[in-house]
Structure 1
Amino acid sequence: MNKKTLIADTHDIFDAFIVNGLHQNYSIYCQFPFNEELINQHSYGENFDIEFNDGYRHQQ
């Protein structure tokens, strides 16, 4: 995984990162709290690291 972190400041940007597969190469930091509905909309594969501003971390 690349050392750079992508910043998602909106749900739309987060969706774009996931749809384009960027979560497989970069960590993602979301500038909004964890949202279970948002997380459940996507399939992430094997290698990802997503952190939300409330401290919740979704990773594998």
Structure 2
Amino acid sequence: MNKKTLIADTHDIFYAFIINGLHHNYCIYCQFPFHDNLLNKHNYGEHFDIEFNDGYRLQK
């Protein structure tokens, strides 16, 4: 995984990162809190690291 971190300041940008598969190559930091609906909207696959501003982290 690349050491650079992508910053998602809106849900739309976050979804664009996921849809384009960028979460497989880069860490993503979201400038909004985690919400359970985010888990149900996408299949993240393997090898990802996503952190939210409330400290919640999705990692595989």
User: Which whole-Å CA distance do the structure 1 matches of 2:39 and 2:52 have between them?
Assistant: 11
| Residue equivalent to 1:32 | 32
TM-score, normalised relative to structure 1: 0.96
The alignment yields a C-alpha RMSD, in angstroms, of 0.6
Please state whether the residue corresponding to 2:12 is helix, strand or coil: helix
Runs of 4+ with deviation above 6 angstroms: none
TM-score, normalised relative to structure 2: 0.96
What is the identity percentage for the equivalent residue pairs of Structure 1 and Structure 2?
A: 78
Alignment of 1:41-60 (within 5 A): 41-60=41-60
